[in-house]
């Protein structure tokens, strides 16, 4: 596995004053697009790293991966029997993916939580030759052997990343022929980014915002704080926090057909020890931990907040 080019991590040790003024943020939902706009964002799907600072802005308390923008412009059509084995072959499922924000990355890495079908707009029609499409009401799904589904997004650093073009991320949206609740109750392994699924769509997104003046990191973090002070932790601490999130990724295990998928699920249920996480083609390089204050040490521990992934605590 190769790492990103070293040229992406060139430049000054410090974030420019102009860039620093733009990356403070009130929250990681509606404020993200406003910050992106300061860096000439085109509205397409993009990823970012959000870091929550301590009340005095001296430490990174926690962080998360965030997505925003439009993933897919057009609706996605797929034959129902490609998702559910016994579905009527005439049925077509049409899914309209909302904006990228639907996927929440609360495990601290580049793979989202599962999203149940209720969170997306979808339609079902029976399409037969010589007849107009016939809508299938939700209450009639069982008659057509149509079950529930859930979605998930997996992201990882793309090979197309360059110093000139910036960091690109490959994303894959997987669809699973069962509900989120049923999937999660089946195995603890489903939390892993390499849990097998069917591909709904894929593409690339940019990792934003890009710094206007290089600071030994190819992106700027979005900084959330409750303080009016515009001071920030050391840039070494910021780079270390960004890397902790970007390195927590895995390749999706994409299965070609639902029959093979169900067979693999059953096999893993009986032989969980045979589950293997797929590696990503490109890795974010490790970043050195920041120098501790005199007489104190850094410790990274899990953060219990649902939207965060790690904390830096000082122990005397």
Q: Does residue 258 lie in a domain region?
A: yes
pLDDT at residue 227, rounded to an integer: 76
| Residues whose CB falls within 8 Å of the CB of residue 27, separated by 6 or more in sequence, listed in order | 224
Q: Does residue 78 lie in a domain region?
A: no
Q: Does residue 100 lie in a domain region?
A: no
Q: Does residue 136 lie in a domain region?
A: no
Q: Does residue 276 lie in a domain region?
A: yes
CA 151 to chain centre: 12
pLDDT at residue 293, rounded to an integer: 55
| Token pair 């939207």: residue | 307
d(CA 206, CA 220): 13
Q: What does 9-45 look like in DSSP terms, one character per residue?
A: G-B-SS--HHHHHH-EES-SSTTHHHHHHTTT--SB-
pLDDT in tens, the chain (316 residues): 788 989 999 999 999 999 999 999 988 888 898 899 888 899 999 999 999 999 989 999 999 999 999 999 899 999 999 999 999 999 999 999 988 999 999 988 999 999 999 999 999 999 987 778 899 998 899 999 999 999 999 999 999 999 889 999 999 999 999 999 999 999 999 999 999 999 999 999 999 999 999 999 999 999 998 777 888 999 999 999 999 999 999 999 999 999 999 999 999 999 999 999 999 999 999 998 887 654 444 444 334 333 333 333 322 2
pLDDT at residue 8, rounded to an integer: 94
Q: Are 45 and 100 in contact (CB under 8 A)?
A: yes
Q: Does residue 127 lie in a domain region?
A: no
Nearest to 311 by CA among 232, 237, 246: 237
- The residue segments making up the domain with residue 18 are 2-62+154-290+297-315
pLDDT at residue 307, rounded to an integer: 36
Helix (H) or strand (E) holding 77: strand 76-79
Q: How many domains does the chain have?
A: 1
pLDDT at residue 228, rounded to an integer: 79
pLDDT at residue 240, rounded to an integer: 96
Nearest to 1 by CA among 281, 238, 303: 281
Q: Does residue 52 lie in a domain region?
A: yes
Q: Does residue 149 lie in a domain region?
A: no
pLDDT at residue 87, rounded to an integer: 95
Instruction: List, in sequence order, the alpha helices (H) in the chain.
Output: 17-22, 32-37, 180-186, 235-246, 258-270
Q: Are 267 and 86 in contact (CB under 8 A)?
A: no
């Amino acid at each position: 596995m190769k790492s990103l080019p070293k040229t992406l991590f060139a430049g000054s040790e410090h974030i420019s004053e102009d860039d620093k003024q733009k990356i403070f943020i009130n929250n990681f939902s509606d404020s993200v697009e406003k910050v992106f706009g300061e860096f000439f964002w085109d509205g397409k799907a993009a990823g970012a790293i959000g870091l929550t600072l301590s009340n005095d802005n001296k430490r990174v308390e926690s962080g998360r991966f965030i997505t925003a923008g439009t993933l897919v412009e057009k609706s996605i059509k797929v034959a129902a029997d490609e998702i559910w084995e016994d579905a009527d072959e005439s049925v077509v499922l049409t899914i309209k993916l909302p904006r990228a924000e639907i996927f929440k990355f609360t495990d601290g890495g580049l793979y989202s939580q599962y999203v149940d079908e209720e969170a997306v707009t979808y339609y079902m029609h029976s399409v037969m030759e010589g007849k107009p499409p016939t809508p299938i009401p939700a209450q009639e799904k069982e008659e057509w052997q149509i079950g529930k589904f859930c979605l998930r997004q997996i992201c990882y650093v793309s090979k197309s990343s360059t110093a000139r073009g910036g960091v690109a991320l490959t994303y894959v949206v997987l669809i699973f022929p069962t509900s989120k609740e049923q999937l999660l109750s089946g195995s603890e392994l489903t939390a892993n980014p390499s849990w097998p699924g069917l591909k709904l769509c894929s593409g690339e997104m940019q990792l934003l915002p890009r710094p206007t003046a290089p600071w030994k990191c190819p992106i700027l973090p979005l900084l959330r704080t409750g303080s009016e002070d515009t001071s920030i932790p050391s840039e070494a601490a910021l780079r270390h926090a960004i890397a902790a999130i970007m390195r927590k990724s895995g390749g999706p295990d994409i299965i070609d057909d639902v029959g093979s998928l169900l067979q693999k699920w059953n096999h893993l249920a009986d032989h969980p020890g045979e589950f293997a996480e797929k590696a990503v083609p490109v890795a974010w390089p490790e970043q050195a931990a920041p120098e501790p204050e005199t007489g104190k040490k850094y410790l990274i521990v899990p953060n219990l907040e649902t939207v965060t992934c790690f904390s830096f605590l000082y122990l005397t």
